[in-house]
Chains A and B, each alone.
Chain A
């Protein structure tokens, strides 16, 4: 009995370690709560992000600098969800994602993190009603965030 107990314990520990190691090496974060259709979920998030960008442009024209902070915060929070929306095995025919995401996961993660940083910078500038700072961020925001990811990790979209 005393000899069997350590054996069972050892087996349990080995199984737990193996499971943890597998989870750590798959290159994806724990999945965000969503509808269960992760491709649809992430396309909704991207659409929402695009709507923030359009709203930002409208607020610039309306001289509503402070109002941009809300959009920037949405961009920041949704960018934090990006990696959880791209679990391994989620490349379907409905997805525009490229397999490079999972081959260059570290770079993909860094690009998402970069969007968070830029969005927070924009949010803070807008909260401070600093028109020049907002303009400075927005001048390069699209290229530094959306484009830097899309050019590498998204298939070119059919455009009109």
Chain B
């Protein structure tokens, strides 16, 4: 009797941790993975996909990206689907630790449940890698207990998830830009002091001082002088699919990495989705903000 109960409990436990995904679910998950830029933050340059370790220096200290492969000892293989979705959407590990700074959960919170479920299925299908996470080195005292909760309440407004992911038009573009692609994390101006995002100047760019990994992120509002107002929708869509700019130059740096992706990237989005993004970018307010 006892052994039968144990067997049932084990069966229930294992099904909560990993369920076999169907091919359509995996394909959707891979597509969403690509639309995030291939979760490139979690892969070191020329490193093992999703194995973590990439270093991020910031005003709060240094953090290292986590291993998000399905390795059961060092990755997320032992987490339930719900725990993985909580981490993506709310920035919390199963043990309660906040995955901050850097993890853009405020944007990812805007992802639809179906897309997140599919993404989780895909993450579980990536080869596991044994790589222990490197602890973060935070320079601010009482960071987790006092500073971070106060910062989150004051500065971190989250995107609102839709009941279902929009499928076309400007709404689709907005969803891909603000949530899945989390474009604002790099392209929306941040305060140099608090690193809070200023959504009143959505996508108006960051200098090297406040940009991602010390790189400037251009103004991608439709301002003609300082943004991409002179780009056509077709040129924007082509850029996202190939990295080719209208002047013939090619996207490099972090944007180049996001377009290329890892197992998938922005370039793997459909023409329709890239056009939807372009349409959305042309619809937002033009903000004059010259990025040097």
Contacts and interface: CB of A to CB of B under 8 A. Distances in A.
A143 B227 CA distance: 24
B248 A147 contact: no
A160 B249 contact: no
A57 interface: yes
Contact of A142 (B230, B243, B290): B243
Contacts of A158: 216, 290-292
Contacts of A157: 249
Interface residues of A, number: 20
Contact of B244 (A47, A57, A150, A156): A57
B251 interface: yes
Contact of B219 (A57, A150, A160): A160
A140 to B, nearest CB: 9
Interface residues of B, number: 28
Nearest to B215: A156
Interface stretch (A35-43, A48-56, A104-112, A118-126): A48-56
B247 interface: yes
Given A53-B244, A57-B244, A142-B244, A147 B250 contact: yes
B226 interface: yes
A50 B256 contact: no
A47 B245 CA distance: 12
A93 interface: no
8 nearest CB pairs, A to B:
A50-B248, A142-B250, A53-B248, A159-B218, A146-B250, A147-B252, A54-B248, A151-B252
12 contacts: A52-B248, A53-B244, A54-B246, A57-B238, A142-B244, A146-B252, A147-B250, A147-B256, A151-B253, A158-B216, A158-B291, A160-B230
